[in-house]
Structure 1
């Protein structure tokens, strides 16, 4: 069985080694800055990435949950995508970004080498948040290896239940949390730490990695909050910045 490993870069961005391939989640490589307002609110990045694009080596596939918010795809992140052989994202992202971006609707799949990548539903906020734009998560499978779920900016435990209903046990869950909040929206736009702990129970996950828990001013919870939510459960995997951590 091939090694499964993750290298945390910052925010929602991580390098995942799985099935002999190297996947990059939601690329964000800009330095700390405030972006021009979108939908009436300016996103502020409080810290830059632990690794620059040139530090990563070969990337086979980027998994982009959505493209319309700077905290999931920033300026340097978008530039980096244009040099990659493949990016999998929403159909809207594929239409808007072009190039090597391929769009998948929820529950559709793409075979890459020995890995099947399935897009799964996500909701970027409480019920009724569909107007924020399409978002997807991903499930990765290959042979007898552990299944991996990458949540993207999903705040819906109902969607997590549907994923468990479709796939059964998800061995490794990379969960975007941080309880993102904006003054122009009601409720959390991403999972809280408590939501993430419930999601891991629903998925019966053996290993959980927290992403998108820091580096952005609109996150109302911290990386430490995520860590505390999993205290005593024995499934949380600490991922220091820029350090490769094996997950199997």
Structure 2
């Protein structure tokens, strides 16, 4: 069984066979505007359900990218040195310059070991955090697939911030996923008009049909001004699609739930 505690935004504490894994640490309070480069910005509208000091010891931080504050903010950054390992992009690992940071390119893997725990293998999965040809602007981003010991299949797949594209569809078909963390929200900015930088509910429906996880957990879809899809519309879309309705679980921030 995997226990998930949604802290807020993309930040989830995973408790998996003795491993304590934290995704994209964000612990700043609400109210501040953060720049995202090229004139874009967003206001954090909702604070975390737990403070960084209340999360407890962390074995692994999965950091999809370090250069956007909705995935790593100031208080989240202070937590990184205390984790045993931080897994992120190769460019992110260089910028962090921490002795515990490991950088992965898409498709790369790293194997983590700790006394009394089964080995944990982390594989970086593809993300494109925007429209075609946007990577030079938005930077490198990865998702993560976790496998435990010699157990078949993927225990947890975190999509990371991405639009739905051919590489993501391919991975969705290939992976045998138990729990899927979906980064959604349909990110848009006034400066770039209709261009989207993350998945919307219709993309989630397609991805779920391709990957067929046992459980799907939407995260990172509210709490920032750059999300363009209202949460009510997201919930309605997933609730009315039979394939999605049967697997989607909504987390109450700060409340651990076993899946």
TM-score (norm 2): 0.89
Q: Which of these residues, 158, 165, 175, is aligned with residue 168 of structure 1?
A: 175
Shift of 1:227: 2.3
- Aligned length in residues: 244
Specify whether residues 105 and 36 from structure 1 end up closer, same or farther in structure 2 by C-alpha distance, changes over 3 A only. closer
The match for 2:197 is 189
TM-aligned CA deviation for residue 184 of structure 1: 2.7
CA distance in 2, matches of 1:184, 1:81: 32
How much has 1:145 moved relative to structure 2? 6.2
Q: For the aligned residues, what is the CA RMSD?
A: 1.6
Match of residue 226 from structure 2 = 218
Q: 1:72, CA displacement in angstroms?
A: 0.8
Choose which of 179, 188, 191 in structure 1 pairs with 2:186: 179
In the TM superposition, what is the alpha-carbon distance from 1:36 to its structure 2 partner? 4.3
In the alignment, the residues of structure 2 paired with residue 81 and residue 196 of structure 1 have an alpha-carbon distance, to the nearest angstrom, of 30
User: Greater share of strand residues, 1 or 2?
Assistant: 2
1:133 corresponds, among 139, 144, 147, to 139
User: C-alpha separation between the residues in 2 aligned to 1:164 and 1:48?
Assistant: 31
Partner of 1:71: 70
Flag structure 1 segments of 5+ consecutive residues without an equivalent.
none
> Match for residue 246 of structure 1?
258
Q: CA deviation at 1:205?
A: 1.4
Counterpart position of 2:83: 84
**Which segment drifts farther, 78-87 or 89-98?**
78-87
TM-score of the aligned structures, taking structure 1 as reference length: 0.93
**Pairing partner for 1:200 from 208, 211, 218:** 208
Alpha-carbon offset, residue 157 of structure 1: 3.3
Structure 2 stretches of 5 or more lacking a match? Answer: 114-118
Structure 1 distance, partners of 2:2, 2:223, is 25
CA contact (8 A) 2:66 2:72 kept: yes
* CA distance in 1 between partners of 2:142 and 2:170 (Å): 13
Report the equivalent of 1:119. 124
Contact 1:210 1:223 survives alignment (8 Å): no
Report how far residue 159 of structure 1 moved: 2.3
CA deviation after TM superposition for structure 1 residue 128, in Å: 1.6
Task: Give the secondary-structure state (helix, strand or coil) at the position aligned to 1:116.
Answer: strand
Structure 1 stretch 212-221 or stretch 80-89: which is displaced more?
A: 80-89
Offset of residue 17 of structure 1: 1.4
- 1:5 is matched with which residue? 3
Q: What is the deviation of 1:156?
A: 2.5
